[in-house]
Chain A
Amino acid sequence: MALDQSFVGRTYPPTPAYEVGREKIREFAEAVGDTHPAYVDAEAARALGHADVIAPPTFVFSITYRAAGEVVQDPQLGLDYSRVVHGDQKFSYVRPVRAGDRLTVTSTIEGIKSLAGNDILDVRGDVHDEAGELVVTTLMKLVARAAEEA
């Protein structure tokens, strides 16, 4: 069933702050096998001009994806989550995420399309720090595949 177009432009309330921990950054960097010192060594990060250790570029997805859960599971929207696949993902950085950041995410439905029976949902996540400054904007395209004919 096609999704309700009137949800386009809908913005959800900001999430509670997520505090970025240095050990969480280390854990993520190890999981992707990335040994760059800026992720674990504050000295090395400072030598590159960062205030503290920074997170790998895709780290913030864990936070924005959780925030988008509210959109995806909004019963009024009625997305069939069991048929959803991740189509596209984009990040636009104002600055890298770093240890100690307290980040909130505001999710907005950017677009809803129906293509060959598939529902396509674009969700934007605006990630702000404690000072209210924009850190990164993420764009996630989800595709709910058409249900197969019985």
Chain B
Amino acid sequence: MTAKVSYGSVEAGTELPAQSFPVTRATLVQYAGASGDFNPIHWNERFAREVGLPDVIAHGMFTMAEAIRVVTDWAGDPGAVVDYGVRFTKPVVVPDDDKGALIEVSGKVAAKLDDNLVRVDLVAMCDGKKVLGMSRAVVRLA
């Protein structure tokens, strides 16, 4: 594991570069294929509405995969992530248009731990709503 950020260079409160991740219906079809999660709520509007959703929603695991990129891109080595957890609080609704939805992720160092580890708290928003809660990663810095 070779993170490019040194433990000594960060402190509690250090902000990570924020990123935005667009998601369209095509993105969800591609993710369904790659992940093997073909639940129709992620691609079939008729089905999604039948089960009480406003529209097709993104896979929670897709959002989780995007959010950690703020940490892995910052740390430089995806293998430096030691722990990662989220709570799925609100769905990411993906309309059937060219624009889709936008997941906006920011993160900051919440605490410095032992052994060059830091805890990063992430915030993931879509359409002004928090889509992940308790979103935290522990990463080993250089």
Tell me whether A58 and B68 are in contact (CB under 8 A): yes
| With contact pairs A56-B78, A96-B78 given, residues A90 and B84 touching in the complex (Cβ less than 8 Å) | yes
Cβ contact of A58, chosen from B2, B27, B36, B65, cutoff 8 A: B65
Does B45 touch A at the CB level, under 8 Å? no
Q: In residues 40-94 of chain A, which contact B (Cβ within 8 Å)?
A: 47-50, 54, 56-58, 61-62, 65-66, 85-93
Partner of A31, one of B33, B73, B85: B33
Which of A34, A54, A66, A86 sits near B79, CB closer than 8 Å? A54
Q: Are A54 and B78 in contact (CB under 8 A)?
A: yes
Decide if A27 is an interface residue (CB 8 Å cutoff): yes
Bound CA–CA A32/B70 (angstroms): 13
- Contact status A38-B83, CB under 8 Å: no
Residues from chain A with a CB closer than 8 A to the CB of B21 are 33
Chain B residue numbers with a CB within 8 Å of A130 are none
Chain A interface residue count, CB cutoff 8 Å, equals: 34
The answer to whether B78 and A57 have CB atoms under 8 Å apart is: yes
Given contacts A33-B21, A34-B65, A48-B2, contact A27 B84 (CB under 8 A): no
B99 on the A face (CB < 8 A): no
Looking at chain A's contact residues, the main secondary structure is mixed
Q: In the complex the two chains form, what is the Cα distance from A86 to B69 in whole Å?
A: 21
Let me know if A36 is at the binding interface, CB within 8 A: yes
Interface membership of B9, Cβ < 8 A: no
Give chain A interface residues in 1-39, CB to chain B under 8 Å: 27-28, 30-34, 36, 38-39
A34 to B34, CA, bound (A): 13
Please name the residue on chain A nearest to B51 by beta carbon. A82
The reply to whether B34 and A88 contact each other, CB–CB distance below 8 Å, is no
Which residues, 22 to 72 on B, are CB-close (under 8 Å) to A?
27, 30-31, 33-37, 60-62, 64-66, 68-69, 72
What B residues does A48 contact at CB under 8 A? 1-2, 76-77, 79
Using a CB–CB distance below 8 Å, which chain A residues touch chain B?
27-28, 30-34, 36, 38-39, 47-50, 54, 56-58, 61-62, 65-66, 85-93, 95-96, 139
